[in-house]
Structure 1
Amino acid sequence: MAFDGTGLLIFAVFAILSWLVGQRLRSKFAKYSQIPLRSGISGAEAAAKMLQDAGITNVRIVSVAGRLTDHYNPADRTVNLSQEVYQGRNAAAVAVAAHEVGHAVQHAKAYSMLKFRSAMVPVLSVSSQYLSWVILIGIFLINTTPVPLMLGIGLFAITTLFAFVTLPVEFDASRRALAWMGTTGLVDQREMGMSKDALKWAAMTYVVAALASLAQLLYLVMILMGGRRD
């Protein structure tokens, strides 16, 4: 099987899809950021309250540079919020802040999928250093020996598995965030709708990434099987 334009097409399709979803997320965030919350609470204040309500006292809330750079770091137990989320007093900011605290709650409760995902990080870090080179060598040597490409597919499979393991972790964090927001009275029904919409589009970025990884993995398997038949 020759290395044709199929791989480039797959890359282009998912690159465009990822861009569209990213643009939609940024558009939604910008729109909802213009609508102040009735309660007037900020993202940082919401995060602090959710941590308090969950009985978590060993997690710090940190403001970080960048846009949509929000994340929870289990290594040093920090909820890292971008400045517009940390200071923002709108549905999008509070939803994102609560989502990141959702990860802290997962950590505190030893959520199984988060533990599995965290255990994969060191393996993924090592494999990603060699992945591109191994796959490139494997494709060039496919008509000589399938071993390098088989190794590359194995390494890429780890990346794909990580992308799919990330999905339940992200969806669960959003579920915890929205459940908490629904019980606190910090948002009204309209604001809750905006929060759900913002988190939905944030989750879609992970869905697209996982599907893109799967498509590329299957394509590499096709190259392997075609090369072995030649």
Structure 2
Amino acid sequence: MYFLIILAMIVSGLIQWRLRSKFAKYAQVGLQSNLSGRQIAELMLQDHGITDVRVISTPGKLSDHYNPTDKTVNLSEAVYEERSAAAAAVAAHECGHAVQHATAYSALQFRSAMVPVLSSVSKYMTWILLAGIFMLQTTAIPLWIGIALFSLTTLFSFVTLPVEFDASRRALAWIDRRGIVTQQEHAMAKDALWWAAMTYVVAALASLATLLYYVSIAMGGRDRR
């Protein structure tokens, strides 16, 4: 089980490297439509009748995200200004989340509802797991409590998958329908978003492997008593 966790970490690193290389490559491909990431985001929001969401620039690379709390599409500085296939993919994807929010997409609602719970859980989960491991020869209860808490983070990772895939689906359909990209640029945008989605897939599988690892420790401790 420990081997699976190490393997997931290695695969995650490789996918992150591949993702960055893909975005760097596609960032060099200028859009024939000559629209910036900001313009694309604003146009997608407008086309979906969303008027209460702002598009803003945020520091960092690949730091793009949609914030449902203050209703902002946060685009990294490069994506905000760039007029490339990569920028089109990211801007439309983040607006895909805004569309999900506006249409009450169930998976996003469930994921958002989990956020405050996980914020509280994360403060104590690691310490409870460590305490549970140290106390395993005496009692397995603290470890099982830690496992129950960790299972929430694993669930969150898997709930994130349909949210991300759906946002990409909406994004690709819209940029194609709106004529934002050519056929070649669409293929680049799709490839970039696929690699981005794979980071979430690996994260979910790594979380599951870690959860099963803790379960195996708890079961092993029970068998030794």
- Specify if TM > 0.5: yes
Unmatched 5+ stretches in structure 2 = none
Question: 1:142 Cα shift?
Answer: 1.1
- The one-letter code matched in structure 1 to 2:172 is L
Question: 1:13 Cα shift?
Answer: 1.8
Asked whether 1:181 is paired with 2:175, we answer: yes
Aligned-partner Cα distance in 1 for 2:32–2:175: 13
SS at match of 1:227: helix
SS at match of 2:139: coil
Q: What's the counterpart of residue 148 of structure 2?
A: 154
Q: What's the counterpart of residue 98 of structure 1?
A: 92
- The one-letter code matched in structure 1 to 2:205 is L
- The one-letter code matched in structure 1 to 2:207 is S
Structure 1 residues 176-204: Cα deviation after superposition (integer angstroms, max 9, x where no partner): 00010110111110000000000000000
Aligned-partner Cα distance in 1 for 2:32–2:110: 39
Aligned ranges 1:48-127 → 2 under 5 Å: 48-127=42-121
Asked whether 1:194 is paired with 2:185, we answer: no
Aligned-partner Cα distance in 2 for 1:37–1:68: 19
Q: What's the counterpart of residue 213 of structure 2?
A: 219
The RMSD of aligned alpha carbons is 0.8
TM-score by length of 2: 0.98
Aligned-partner Cα distance in 2 for 1:14–1:101: 30
Runs (4+) off by over 6 Å? none
SS at match of 2:94: helix
- The one-letter code matched in structure 1 to 2:7 is V
Question: 1:12 Cα shift?
Answer: 2.5
TM-score by length of 1: 0.96
Select which of 21, 28, 36 maps to 2:22.
28
Q: What's the counterpart of residue 209 of structure 1?
A: 203
Question: 1:15 Cα shift?
Answer: 1.7
Aligned length: 224
Aligned-partner Cα distance in 1 for 2:75–2:205: 27
SS at match of 1:22: helix
Question: 1:172 Cα shift?
Answer: 0.4
Q: What's the counterpart of residue 169 of structure 1?
A: 163
Unmatched 5+ stretches in structure 1 = 1-5
Question: 1:74 Cα shift?
Answer: 0.2
Structure 1 residues 100-130: Cα deviation after superposition (integer angstroms, max 9, x where no partner): 0000000000000000000000110011111
Structure 1 residues 122-169: Cα deviation after superposition (integer angstroms, max 9, x where no partner): 110011111111111111111110100000000000000000000000
Select which of 122, 125, 139 maps to 1:145.
139
Q: Percent identity?
A: 64
Q: What's the counterpart of residue 38 of structure 2?
A: 44
- The one-letter code matched in structure 2 to 1:123 is V
SS at match of 1:62: strand
- The one-letter code matched in structure 2 to 1:100 is E
SS at match of 1:206: helix
Aligned-partner Cα distance in 1 for 2:211–2:69: 30
Aligned-partner Cα distance in 2 for 1:35–1:219: 44
Aligned-partner Cα distance in 2 for 1:173–1:192: 15
Aligned-partner Cα distance in 1 for 2:44–2:85: 15
Aligned-partner Cα distance in 1 for 2:115–2:29: 38
